[in-house]
Amino acid sequence: MKGDIGVIGLAVMGQNLILNMNDHGYKVVAHNRTAEKVDEFLQGPAKGTNIVGAYSLQELVDKLESPRKIMLMVRAGDVVDSFIDKLVPLLDKGDIIIDGGNTNFPDTNRRVAALKEKGIHFIGSGVSGGEEGARFGPSIMPGGSPEAWPFVKPIFQAISAKTENDEPCCDWVGNDGAGHFVKMVHNGIEYGDMQLITEAYQFMKDGLGMTHDEMQSVFIEWNKTELNSYLVEITSDILGYKDTDGETLVEKILDTAGQKGTGKWTGINALDMGIPLTLITESVFARCLSSLKDQRVEAEELFGKKESIVEGDKQVWIEALRQALLASKIISYAQGFMLMREASNENGWDLNYGNVALMWRGGCIIRSAFLSNIRDAYDIDPELSFLGSDSYFKGILENSMSAWRKVAAKSMEVGIPMPSMTSALTFLDGYTTARLPANLLQAQRDYFGAHTYERVDKPKGEFFHTNWTGKGGDVSSTTYNS
């Protein structure tokens, strides 16, 4: 009997996905560039299963049922192209290559188009959930050649995480790089969620002077509220984790955040598409700022930074902080969905936002109860332009407003940096302001560069120039918007 699917790349994610597929009754052919890895896997975790090995790409191809489905679980970038180049001459028309790495979506767009010319189908799929997700149920976000989906769907939906209603956290996202785009936004939101949690932690630790046990209890309680999520849950575990000497481990970890680039890509795409994705972008910058450790140490000394003590009833502050975190989270997701909406329109992907929320409901790093409410919001209005306008989320934003402002104002007053929570509030203030000061900005542009402006008392699309000083000419520059 030939194999149902081949997987290339036996690092931990690849191995775990294979074992997961095997558990669901699929016969998997495993290949790795170094042959010893194949042996180690077959004699180790894959021992006693139906998994078979392949020591060359030819052997892999020969061992697969047609149309062949070959999933690459290798490092994103050139390695993917190099495997594609080697595989294509060995494949038949109608065969399917799947890239399950964290690929930047323009690469997937390019690969789908290039392989289409050769009659090979290509799927670029986000896979989220880390090692455990891969082993027992990840969130899977596939996009690319739609013709390939019916062949891959049963396997992916079998191995994916399931919601509480047993729905698979995997569905077809859209053409071209849509799957990898959605995974990128998932990661951007992941950056935002993590940053918001760290801001709450710093407010509690530095501002309220709370112990780790106290903070752990707060996160345990928060996890029973609308904030229920994997990231809040692991935060409570982390805060309670003691090093071998009995001290809290988290305080021994150097405060410089790493990043592999998906958050940055999300920010870059937001700038390219003109979407005010402020919270995620602030979260990326917060990681950048954290990495300037030496400069920060010097600057603290130079500026003689004082302790940032927050006075008042601790319990009242903790509840205010919870509301501020929840409201900011709504803004983050609202912005992320705005970005996906713009990308869907620009690329003709026809994204189904309720389905995206469903795919993120389980298995992935941002999995949370909250995503069920997002799905409900898009069920009610599939074209919702701002998540915060949905009645459920609007109610939370309105009810949290006062607490959110207090937390933001206090953080500014005492000097606790909360770039994501405060920028989220500023975004909402801007978004809910019918008239912003951009009229003055337009006047400035026209003053110094004759960039023209539109008038409130004339139809849109009619452009005017004023000779503000009486000295310049009446010639305006051509109007275009980037």
Q: Please list the active-site residues.
A: 183, 190
Q: Name the minimum Å distance from CB 191 to ligand 6PG.
A: 7
Contacts of residue 396, defined as CB under 8 A and 6 or more positions apart, other chains included, come to: 226, 326, 327, 330
Q: Taking CB under 6 A as the rule, does residue 143 contact ligand 6PG?
A: no
Q: Taking CB under 6 A as the rule, does residue 187 contact ligand 6PG?
A: yes
Q: What is the DSSP string of 292-341?
A: -HHHHHHHHHHHTPPP-PPPS-HHHHHHHHHHHHHHHHHHHHHHHHHHHH
Could you tell me whether strands 52-54 and 69-72 are parallel, antiparallel, or unpaired per DSSP bridges? Answer: unpaired
Of 141-149, 202-210, 253-261, 448-456, the window that binds ligand 6PG (rule: CB under 6 A) is: 253-261
Distance, in Å, from the CA atom of 139 to the CA atom of 150, rounded to the nearest integer, reads: 18
Distance, in Å, from the CA atom of 232 to the CA atom of 216, rounded to the nearest integer, reads: 10
Opening angle at CA 382, ends 377 and 388, nearest 5 = 40
81: three-class secondary structure by DSSP:
helix
Of 29-37, 219-227, 256-264, 416-424, the window that binds ligand 6PG (rule: CB under 6 A) is: 256-264
Select the residue interacting with ligand 6PG from 48, 150, 258, 473 (CB under 6 A).
Answer: 258
Distance, in Å, from the CA atom of 170 to the CA atom of 358, rounded to the nearest integer, reads: 8
Which residues, listed in sequence order, are joined to residue 139 by a DSSP beta bridge? 128
Is the distance from CB of 141 to CB of 359 less than 8 angstroms? yes
125 vs 216, which CB is nearer to ligand 6PG?
125
Q: Name the minimum Å distance from CB 286 to ligand 6PG.
A: 12
Distance, in Å, from the CA atom of 433 to the CA atom of 413, rounded to the nearest integer, reads: 25
Q: Taking CB under 6 A as the rule, does residue 293 contact ligand 6PG?
A: no
Q: Taking CB under 6 A as the rule, does residue 102 contact ligand 6PG?
A: yes
Is the distance from CB of 384 to CB of 394 less than 8 angstroms? no
User: Which of the 8 DSSP states describes residue 144?
Assistant: E
Q: Taking CB under 6 A as the rule, does residue 128 contact ligand 6PG?
A: yes
Q: Name the minimum Å distance from CB 259 to ligand 6PG.
A: 4
Q: Taking CB under 6 A as the rule, does residue 260 contact ligand 6PG?
A: yes
CA proximity to 159, closest of 335, 363, 332: 363
How many CB atoms within 10 Å of residue 284? 24
Of 4-12, 126-134, 234-242, 417-425, the window that binds ligand 6PG (rule: CB under 6 A) is: 126-134
Q: Taking CB under 6 A as the rule, does residue 129 contact ligand 6PG?
A: yes
Phi and psi of 457, rounded to 5°?
-100, 10
Q: Name the minimum Å distance from CB 288 to ligand 6PG.
A: 12
Select the residue interacting with ligand 6PG from 176, 190, 193, 226 (CB under 6 A).
Answer: 190
95 vs 190, which CB is nearer to ligand 6PG?
190
Phi and psi of 106, rounded to 5°?
-60, -30
Q: What is the DSSP string of 240-252?
A: H-B-TTSSBGGGG
104 vs 262, which CB is nearer to ligand 6PG?
262
Q: Taking CB under 6 A as the rule, does residue 283 contact ligand 6PG?
A: no
67 vs 130, which CB is nearer to ligand 6PG?
130
Opening angle at CA 154, ends 149 and 156, nearest 5 = 80
What residues between 342 and 381 interact with ligand 6PG by CB under 6 A? Answer: 364-365
Binding residue count for ligand 6PG, defined by CB under 6 A: 13
44 vs 258, which CB is nearer to ligand 6PG?
258
Q: Taking CB under 6 A as the rule, does residue 2 contact ligand 6PG?
A: no
Of 86-94, 114-122, 259-267, 306-314, the window that binds ligand 6PG (rule: CB under 6 A) is: 259-267
Q: Taking CB under 6 A as the rule, does residue 134 contact ligand 6PG?
A: no
Opening angle at CA 71, ends 95 and 114, nearest 5 = 55
Distance, in Å, from the CA atom of 439 to the CA atom of 447, rounded to the nearest integer, reads: 12
Q: Taking CB under 6 A as the rule, does residue 106 contact ligand 6PG?
A: no
Select the residue interacting with ligand 6PG from 259, 290, 291, 352 (CB under 6 A).
Answer: 259
How many CB atoms within 10 Å of residue 291? 14
Q: Name the minimum Å distance from CB 364 to ligand 6PG.
A: 5
Of 124-132, 166-174, 241-249, 410-418, the window that binds ligand 6PG (rule: CB under 6 A) is: 124-132
Q: Taking CB under 6 A as the rule, does residue 130 contact ligand 6PG?
A: yes
364 vs 371, which CB is nearer to ligand 6PG?
364
Which residue's Cβ has the minimum distance to ligand 6PG? 128
Interface positions with ligand 6PG (CB under 6 A): 102, 128-130, 187, 190, 258-260, 262-263, 364-365
